Amino acid sequence: MGDSRYKRVSRSRPCLICGKPDWCSRAVDESVSFCARITDGADRLSKKERWGVFYHDRVAINQPSSFINEPRNFLKQDVSIPLAPLEIR
C-alpha cells in the first residue's frame, strides 16, 4: 500500500466493517473502508483482491469509475497550427 491516501487498520483503529485489527484498509479521511473478510453488503468489490469496498461518504459512490481510472495528460495542449500557403504546400 504505497498510496498515502490509504492506511492499514490496526489495534487502535480496527476495521469499521469487521472490527478486526488486520488485513483491511481504510481511506485516511475514513470515507471508504476496504474489508478483506466481509463482502456481503459491499458497495462494490475491488478489482484485484476482490475485497469489499464500503463507502461511508455517499458522495464517493456516485463518482463514475471511468473518471477515476482515466489517465491524466498534463502535457497535451490544444494548439492549432495554421496551414501553409498553397505556394509552399
Within 8 A by CB and 6+ apart from 24, the residues are 8, 9, 15, 17, 18, 33, 34, 35, 36, 37, 51
- Using 50, 70 and 90 to split pLDDT, how confident is the model at 12? very high
Specify if 56 maps to a domain: yes
Which domain, by its residues, includes 44? 6-63
Per the listing, cell 478483506 goes with 36
Specify if 88 maps to a domain: no
Average pLDDT over residues 80-89: 80
pTM for this entry: 0.58
Give pLDDT tens digits for 38-72: 988 888 888 888 888 888 876 655 665 544 555 55
Give pLDDT tens digits for 16-41: 999 999 999 999 988 899 999 998 88
How many structural domains does the chain have? 1
